[in-house]
Amino acid sequence: MRPFRLHRPESLDEAIHILEKEGEDARPLSGGTELLLLMKQGFASYGNLVGLTRIPGMDRLEVRKADGALVIGAGVTHRQLERSLLVRERFPLLAEVEGKVANVRVRNSGTLAGNLAFAEPHSDPATLHIAWGAVLCIRGPEGARKVPAREFWRGAFETVLQPAEVIESVELPPLPPNRLGAYSKFGMHERPSLGVAVFFTCGEGERIEDPRVAVGCVEPHARRLGEVETALQGKCAADVEASLSDIGAIAAGCVDPITDLHGSREYKLHLVAEFTARTLKRALDRNGEGRP
């Protein structure tokens, strides 16, 4: 591996300044579970790594009083989200998903923000955050901006981040009691082969409102399935449960997977149909439990 200089800035502004100064030969570093592995294997080479985890405020994990949103600093690890009492009590689905990311070693060092920024196609958090309606808070030389999770990814390992920009925090909106959600994954390797996230509000007359269905790992990046959401909108929960296989078929028709080590195109289409139905059923079963 090529030798590199590890910078330890004391503020986010200083980190951004270093990234801007060093240009393409610099990258931000959080947990390093993805970036350092690529560098060791010779797939990437940078002369400057800019550490973010020691910057004050990057370990922020709190519920914002103004709107109840969970604010997750860029230095917060998967393990912290998995074990946090605050997250487990107020955002249990997040804790559940984070507890199944990769393995304990990765969760202990890898950060949520780093995972999202790396844009690995086979990732759990991206799918969940798109369907949940998360917002990514970004800082760079031109100032701060907020990007909805569904607009953050452009392709495999490609995001809307501009040179010297970094994720400062991730914001998750609170889920009211009648807002139900579920996440399911499938994989034969360490990385998931499929991830499906479903959210909807159970409105008057048990009708589904504002459904959001996202699928990840089978295409270059996770995304919402508009046709499935349209098929669910306004339907009675009982009718949806009676037509789960039909909804799964609609989901399979929305994606265009490729054959790779995770399975053939045909196999992945089967997985999308099956796990979309299963995940929707899990969300429906949570009606009345008082938790997402």
**Mean pLDDT calculated for residue range 34-49:** 95
- pLDDT at 188 (0 to 100): 86
Environment class of 222 (CB within 10 Å of its CB; exposed 0-12, middle 13-18, buried 19+) = buried
Q: Are strands 48-51 and 26-29 parallel, antiparallel or unpaired?
A: parallel
Supply the pLDDT for residue 277: 99
Give the pLDDT mean for 156-175.
98
Q: Is residue 291's pLDDT more than 60?
A: no
Query: Residue 267, Cα to own-chain centre: how many angstroms?
Result: 24
For residue 45, report the phi and psi dihedrals to the nearest 5 degrees: -145, 120
Tens of pLDDT, residue by residue over 22-33, are 999 999 999 999
Q: Mean pLDDT score of the chain, rounded to an integer?
A: 96
Domains of the chain and any CATH numbers: 5-51 (3.30.43.10), 61-172 (3.30.465.10), 179-285 (3.30.390.50)
Decide: pTM greater than 0.75.
Answer: yes
Q: Which of 272, 171, 285 is nearest to 228 (CA)?
A: 272
CA dist., res. 59 & res. 138, Å (int): 15
Whether 290 shows a pLDDT value over 80: the answer reads no
pLDDT category, 287, cuts 50, 70, 90? confident
Instruction: Work out the average pLDDT over 261-275.
Output: 97
- pLDDT tens track for 179-238: 999 999 999 888 999 999 999 999 999 999 999 999 999 999 999 999 999 999 999 999
105 pLDDT more than 80: yes
Confidence of residue 274 (pLDDT cuts 50, 70, 90): very high
Buried/exposed 258-275: b ≥16 CB within 10 Å, e otherwise? eeeebbeeeebbebbbbb
Q: What confidence category does residue 1 fall into, taking pLDDT thresholds of 50, 70 and 90?
A: confident
pLDDT of residue 7: 98
Greater confidence, 195 or 290? 195
Tell me what the mean pLDDT of segment 114-140 comes to: 97
pLDDT tens readout for residues 54-98 = 999 999 999 999 999 999 999 999 999 999 999 999 999 999 999
User: What pLDDT is recorded for position 288?
Assistant: 64
If pLDDT is split at 50, 70 and 90, which confidence band does 121 have?
very high
Rounded distance between C-alpha atoms, residue 283 and residue 201, angstroms:
10
| Contact status, residue 243 vs residue 228, Cβ threshold 8 Å | no
205 Rama sector, left if φ>0, alpha if ψ -120 to 50, beta otherwise: left
In 3D, which of 277, 250, 276, 291 has the Cα closest to residue 127? Answer: 276
Residue 163 has pLDDT above 90, yes or no: yes
292: pLDDT strictly greater than 70: no
